[in-house]
Amino acid sequence: ETGVTQTPRHLVMGMTNKKSLKCEQHLGHNAMYWYKQSAKKPLELMFVYNFKEQTENNSVPSRFSPECPNSSHLFLHLHTLQPEDSALYLCASSSQGGRGPYEQYFGPGTRLTVT
Amino acid sequence: KQEVTQIPAALSVPEGENLVLNCSFTDSAIYNLQWFRQDPGKGLTSLLLIQSSQREQTSGRLNASLDKSSGRSTLYIAASQPGDSATYLCAVTSRYNTNAGKSTFGDGTTLTVKP
């Protein structure tokens, strides 16, 4: 498998459920990202991991909990979500170096619906 | 805080036309600017990336330019085809301070190419 993969592609969960989103990149990159895309809003950066270390938390509520066990895998653990959290969640990866981050590659996204 | 604006929000053209999409940003301290394509309900596909030291990049019928001093980029699409119909997103990755490494996205331009 190549590129950036995300599972599941669709998820419906109740407000009291706990679920996890998974992202895997096969590009040898060292940085991974979670983005949220809501209807009629620009893409919002949620978290950034560089060499497994979290380097960015863009004021995301604690009901979203990221985990990056290694440079190839990224998880987003979800619990007690709200209906307004329904959105397309996109994972991306890139290389990062002394000249800064390079081209970002995105996965297909997970369409999350909170009921 | 970096702000990215894309004009127009929507564009409809007949097949075969050449067209220009615009992206402007407020903070010129950037690592790079990236153009993406997004089909409905799907992830983002990278089209072109321009490093801050570059003026333009070309790929097939696409040409992207960058004028950092004026905070502008354009995406030129030659000989448009119905398959080009999608939303085009511009993303700027900032270089300094609290925005270092963060990508800010515009709202996108939704392009429809009519046969």
Residues on chain B touching A108 (C-beta within 8 angstroms): 42-43
**Closest alpha carbon within chain A to B5:** A42
Give the Cα separation of B15 and B61 in Å (integer).
14
- Does A103 contact B106 at a Cβ distance shorter than 8 Å? no
Average pLDDT over residues B63-70: 96
Q: pLDDT-based confidence at A61, cuts 50/70/90?
A: very high
The tens digit of pLDDT for each residue in B16-26 reads 999 999 999 99
Average pLDDT over residues B28-56: 92
Q: What per-residue confidence (pLDDT) applies to B101? A: 64
Pair of tokens at residue A45: 């950066």
The tens digit of pLDDT for each residue in B24-41 reads 999 998 889 999 999 988
Residues on chain B touching A96 (C-beta within 8 angstroms): 101
Question: What DSSP designation does A62 have?
Answer: T
Give the Cα separation of A93 and B50 in Å (integer).
17
Q: What per-residue confidence (pLDDT) applies to A100? A: 57
Of B100, B23, B103, B3, whose CA–CA distance to A103 is shortest? B103
Question: What DSSP designation does A59 have?
Answer: S
What residues form DSSP beta bridges with B91?
Answer: B34, B105
Average pLDDT over residues A88-109: 83
Q: pLDDT-based confidence at B76, cuts 50/70/90?
A: very high
What does the longest C-alpha to C-alpha distance in chain A come to? 44
Averaged confidence pLDDT in chain B: 92
Q: Examine the pLDDT at B97 and tell me if it is beyond 60.
A: no
Q: What per-residue confidence (pLDDT) applies to A98? A: 56
**Closest alpha carbon within chain B to A4:** B43
Give the Cα separation of A47 and A44 in Å (integer).
10
Q: What per-residue confidence (pLDDT) applies to A97? A: 63
